[in-house]
Structure 1
Amino acid sequence: MPEEPGPGQESVWDYPRPPDVVADRRPVVVRFGPAGEEVCRTTRALRVRETSHPPTFYLPLADFRPGALRPAQGRSLCEWKGQASYLDVVASDGRVAAGAAWTYREPYPAYEELRDHVALYAAAVDEVTVAGERVRPQPGSFYGGWVTDDVVGPFKGAPGSMGW
């Protein structure tokens, strides 16, 4: 049963399928490395909203610290967005979050605006914040949604939800 959203909240059960893309101008900060090093800071995020999922945030590649991303092994195919390529997140001290991010270098035409943007698993880095709120990772290890106080579920990815 979907949770009832309160004031200022969205229910992920009201999100569309196929997913939509919405600009989000709130400050997003990704920290990974010594002393809370910022690997990305942006106010130009895109949120991909899909039924039953907390939004996946796509951050402009240009807003990552130079050297913070490098190609990684692996690919996957999204029926909506196309072929994803994976990236490692690299801290200045050499620590690596292997395969923690992904991008669509050649997205399908309906998702062209995701080109030159990167999504990442919040659990793979030290901290992600949206407007100062610490992000909680989407349940499970497959999906990359970010849970914040402005979205309510239940969320796909939790045990027993794979058939949703």
Structure 2
Amino acid sequence: MVAGFLIFLAIQGFVSFKVTPEPYPMIRMPSFGLAASAQGTYPVTFISGEVDFSDGTTADIDPYAIVNTLRFSTARPSLDYVFKPPKGGDVSDHLRDWLRGRVESVTGRDDATDLRLCWEDVSVHVEDASISDRQPCEWTEVAL
């Protein structure tokens, strides 16, 4: 029985190190994210948003407010998976209806025509939280 268990662990360990991404939880512990660079900076991607209305006005919108009905741990990964370039903006009619409803709920207006989301890569200095090395926004536009 002990030998069978050891063989099982060996096979499980082999699969764990050969399959990407790792089939957590197995033998290895998951990674705990990135560490700061030798220069004392940490790479971060900020997300911001703008919404256009039928009267020609534009307003800033918090992307996290749009997805606040989702579980907190899945909100940002969901935004990235569905809307982040290069695949962003190509959404189903069902998702577009949900998004329109969420934008209406957040802005209090029912005449939104377009939603634009910006992903901006920056470096945050761990000593003072200052930001440097800003990259241009990668935009996604969704017609509502």
TM-score (norm 2): 0.22
Q: TM-score, normalised by structure 1?
A: 0.21
Between Structure 1 and Structure 2, whose CA radius of gyration is higher? 2
Q: Which structure shows the higher helix fraction? A: 2
Which structure's residues are more often strand, by fraction?
Answer: 1
